[in-house]
Amino acid sequence: MKSPEKKIILASASPRREQLLREMGLSFTIKPSRLREKIYPRLTPAQLVKKLALLKAQKVAKQVKQGIVIGADTIVVRRGEILGKPRDPRHAREILGKLSGSYHYVFTGLALIDRPGGKTLVAAEKTRVKMKKLRPEEIEFHSGRHLDKAGAYAVQEEKDVFVEQINGCYYNVVGLPIELLKKMLKKLSFKLP
């Protein structure tokens, strides 16, 4: 008797992550973790996103009997400073001002928990991004657009054409490193479409 295909549960409310999973051809359900994110100052950026992704996946895995729970967390780091999601448009202006004309790194942590067995995989992806120099009016225009995104910008948006260069995984900058996710799913014996 053939065992039923494992289902995927995305522990995130991110429309970008949802869209990327759909583009991968995956069937999944969404169960946001609603985890209150906090910064752990002693952790490196890679350790931080892995910890937060794992906490999100664990929170949802407790509510799931069967399936693979995917938790993810993305941060933007410039000169050692973590630039998370902006609190308001004023904070977004401050973040965009810091990123303007400089390089920064995007880190995404992924955590997969296979239920009911509990096998857990955790990894992180790092991508280097160069942003063009933004004029004050450009910063003002974009300051209220992406309050739900780390770094206050969305690389996939047509109006956000200020990313000059990406060294590494483009999808990591969107918020879900697809190739890394595929490798992790394969390790859990999940058959990709």
In sign, the C-alpha dihedral spanning 76, 81, 82, 86 is negative
Q: Which neighbouring-strand residues pair with 129?
A: 104, 166
Residue 20 — left, alpha, or beta (φ > 0 → left; ψ -120 to 50 → alpha)? Answer: alpha
User: What's the confidence (pLDDT) of residue 158?
Assistant: 56
Cα gap 153→14, rounded to integer Å = 14
Cα gap 174→153, rounded to integer Å = 10
pLDDT tens digits along 43-94: 999 999 999 999 999 999 999 999 999 999 999 999 999 887 888 888 888 9
Instruction: State which amino acid sits at residue 145.
Output: R
Catalytic hit among 73, 88, 114, 160? 73
pLDDT over 70, % of the chain: 93
In sign, the C-alpha dihedral spanning 20, 100, 151, 144 is negative
Topology classification of domain 8-187: Maf protein (3.90.950)
> Catalytic residue at 73?
yes
* Residue ranges covered by each domain of the chain: 8-187
pLDDT tens digits along 151-168: 777 777 655 567 889 999
Mean pLDDT of 29-41: 87
| pTM check: above 0.75 | yes
Q: How confident is the model at residue 186 (pLDDT cuts 50, 70, 90)?
A: very high
For residue 1, pLDDT over 60 is answered with no
Q: Which two tokens stand for residue 147?
A: 């309050």
**CA-closest candidate to residue 8, choices 53, 47, 50, 61:** 61
User: What's the confidence (pLDDT) of residue 159?
Assistant: 53
pLDDT over 90, % of the chain: 60
